[in-house]
Amino acid sequence: MEKKWWNDRKIEWYERASLFSDFHYLLSKEIESLIDKDETILEFGAGLGYVSEILSKDGYNVSSYDIDEKVVERARKRSGLDIFHTSDYRELEISGDIVLTIFFGRLWSDDNLSSLLSRAKKGLISIHSLHTGQNDAIKGRETPGLDESLSFLREKGYVAHGKEITIPFPQPLLSMEEAELFIDESYPGKDISLYLPYVKKTGDKSYPYMLSNQKRMVILSIKK
- pLDDT tens readout for residues 124-171: 999 999 865 555 455 555 689 999 999 999 999 999 999 999 999 999
Residues 6+ apart with CB under 8 A from 107: 113, 116, 126, 128, 149, 152, 153, 220
Alpha-helix runs per DSSP H in the chain: 8-19, 23-32, 50-57, 69-79, 112-117, 146-155, 176-186, 192-195
The pTM is what? 0.93
Least reliable range by pLDDT among 44-48, 81-85, 108-112: 108-112
Whole-number mean pLDDT of the chain?
93
- Is pLDDT at 190 greater than 90 in this prediction? no
Question: Strands 120-129 and 96-102, how do they pair?
Answer: parallel
Domains of the chain listed by start with CATH number: 8-171+211-223 (3.40.50.150)
**DSSP symbol at 30:** H
**What pLDDT sits at residue 27?**
98
Counting residues of the chain whose pLDDT is more than 70, the rounded percentage is 93
pLDDT at 79 over 80: yes
Range in 46-50, 75-79, 183-187 the model is least confident about: 183-187
DSSP 4: P
> What pLDDT does 163 receive?
97
Can you give the pLDDT at residue 38?
97
By the 8 A CB rule, do 88 and 2 touch? Answer: no
Taking the CA atoms of residue 64, residue 125, residue 141 and residue 179 in that order, the dihedral angle to the nearest 10 degrees is: -40
Q: What is the pLDDT of residue 1?
A: 45
Q: Alpha-carbon distance 94 to 150, whole Å?
A: 27
pLDDT of residue 67 exceeding 70, the answer is yes
Per-residue pLDDT, averaged over 18-45, amounts to 97
Residue-level pLDDT at 69: 97
